A and B are shown apart, each in its own frame.
Chain A
Amino acid sequence: MSREARITLLVLVAVVAGAVVAFGAPHVLSDYFVRIILLIALNAILVLALSLSNGFTGVFSLGHVGFIGAGAYISGILSIPVQQKMALLPHLPGFLHAFSLPFLPATLVAGVLTALLAVVVGYPLMRLSGYFVSVATMGFLIIVNVVLINASDFTRGARTFTGVPLETTLPWVMGWLAITVFVLARLVYSPFGRAMKAVRDDTIAASAVGIGVLRTRLIAFVIGAFFSGVGGSLYAHYLGSFSPNTFYFALTMSLITMLVLGGMGSLTGAVVGVICVSLLSEVLRSVERGFTIGDFAVPALFGASQIVLGFIFILVMIFRPKGIMGDRELTFGSTQRSATVNQTEERKR
């Protein structure tokens, strides 16, 4: 089978399997498992959005959770039902009181406004490289947090933001995940994706072949921010209530761990990282509650799961420093380096 045909088949299988899970799982599985699948899919969107700049373009952002938070609050403000807005957010500007958007448009607006925010933030920051851009984007995250806490007319400040309709169902998240994977795969495996990787490898050589370094980084950053904003909106409509600290360092660390563990230069790696970390922490969490095998009882050891998880991260980094997938994509049948799209095979067609 040619490479093209195999990939087409794989995509079809993935889409069908995704649809079956999205619509079938809620009928078959308990709420607990449906919730786990939903969170995996939601985190996959967030980690994929992060991989665009951090993995493929070499701009290691620590600020994407700021975009997720912005998306969550924007979408939340837009979609709280009009009757409740007066009670919950009495000081909102008048025009925001007058309407409330359904889930999909609210999510799209959140994505677009977040992307615009990324243009403003990225224009100065994308000139920086290495540690400098990491620290600067973390500065952005801190600013977002402080703004969310202080703009209490819009956000209720440090108090819980609540009243967001619970509309994030598994089919919604799987649908958005499919769109995210589709768009990112086409971008990453295209001339634009090559430019991103060139900028990551060597900014000077990249400009010497006519690539606009700032422009390339900014586009990757802004597209990542769009999907972060979308993911934030899904998060908001999943939780219903949240506060500024929901979107802060804890979430940042968890997303970055998933990305680094999965492999930074690979889309499937990002998803693999999310699945591994999520499943492991669920399993470990149920184990630490204590269990019995036959007559042998293991007592509860609360906190042990965190320690084991930490150990596993350390082991992966020692034995697979480029993450589980590195820069290979999972294509079943042949795991290929994304860097070395097989030339000879492509030419045979």
Chain B
Amino acid sequence: MRTVGLTKAFRGLVALRDHSIELHEREIIGVIGPNGSGKSTLFNLITGFSQPNSGSIEMEGRSIVGLRTSQIVAMGIARTFQGSRLFGSLSVAQNVLTAAQLRHPVGAADTVLRGRRYRERVAATRQKADELLDLMGLTDQAGRVAADLPYGDQRRLEIARALATGPQLLLLDEPAAGLDSNETKVLAALIRTIRDRYGVTVVVVEHDMDLIMALCERIQVLATGEVICVGTPEQVREHPKVREAYLGHA
């Protein structure tokens, strides 16, 4: 996946200016920047929640600008949200099932008649969901209503749900926000496991440096909508512009 010259303005306020990035397969890449630097805006553009004023977004050489979110997800891009956006009245398991069913669709007639194909696909959906609940350590909570979960579990559930759509590219918007340092470490290990097991490319957005520095192979730094630099954690740490624009605030 890559973006070229991506620009988005909200009534004069340029939230993202001339953004370009090229993602490598199976890498974990971080995008950091202070609050309001355009990180969530970037995710919203990639996943079709808003449309860029100019620039392009390509997935395997195909432009995805203008596609509906559901189409983009079907092409293999999944995301989580800053804060939390679970299906609050559904159980933990059903939150994941709702996403896992994307890869095992059943038609209306099948749903009413419930023949063998229906049962097979429902079973496959359930198997995928069980696997992810297990990976994220949520099996014991499977029957609980999602809204009642502790915050840390909610964050992991949101990742499980995104992963259940079977993505090649996983976008995580501030996954460590609100977690303590121990939970953050667990999360970092989980994100690596996810990459290794499912071969996904992961983009992690954070305004906090610790997780990113520990986790990412490559980091892009944004400030007020513009790319300041890209490089390894060491390069970024030493970059004078970053120290000035970002670490000064942190």
Contact = CB atoms under 8 A, between A and B. Distances in A.
A283 B70 CA distance: 51
B204 to A, nearest CB: 17
Contacts, number: 114
A212 B72 CA distance: 11
Interface in A170-212: 183, 186-187, 190-192, 194-195, 197-198, 200-202, 204-212
Given A192-B111, A343-B93, A198 B87 contact: yes
B68 interface: yes
Contacts of A183: 112
Given A208-B69, A210-B165, A265 B78 contact: no
Contact of A187 (B86, B89, B112): B112
B91 interface: yes
A334 interface: no
A266 to B, nearest CB: 12
Contact of A207 (B69, B87, B104, B112): B69
B239 to A, nearest CB: 33
Nearest to A192: B111
B73 interface: yes
A286 interface: no
B143 A342 contact: yes
Interface string B61-105: 000000011100110001101000111111101100111011011
Contacts of B111: 186-187, 190-192
B125 interface: yes
Contacts of B91: 337, 339-341, 343
B79 A208 contact: yes
Contacts of B98: 191, 194-195, 198, 206, 209, 211
A344 interface: yes
B88 A202 contact: yes
12 contacts: A183-B112, A191-B105, A197-B87, A202-B87, A202-B88, A204-B85, A208-B69, A208-B162, A210-B102, A211-B70, A340-B91, A344-B142
Given A195-B101, A340-B91, 20 more contacts: A186-B112, A187-B108, A187-B111, A192-B111, A194-B90, A194-B97, A198-B90, A198-B98, A200-B89, A204-B49, A205-B86, A206-B87, A207-B70, A208-B47, A208-B69, A208-B79, A209-B78, A209-B102, A265-B89, A343-B142
List the 7 closest A-B pairs by CB distance, nearest first: A210-B73, A209-B99, A210-B102, A205-B85, A201-B87, A207-B69, A191-B101
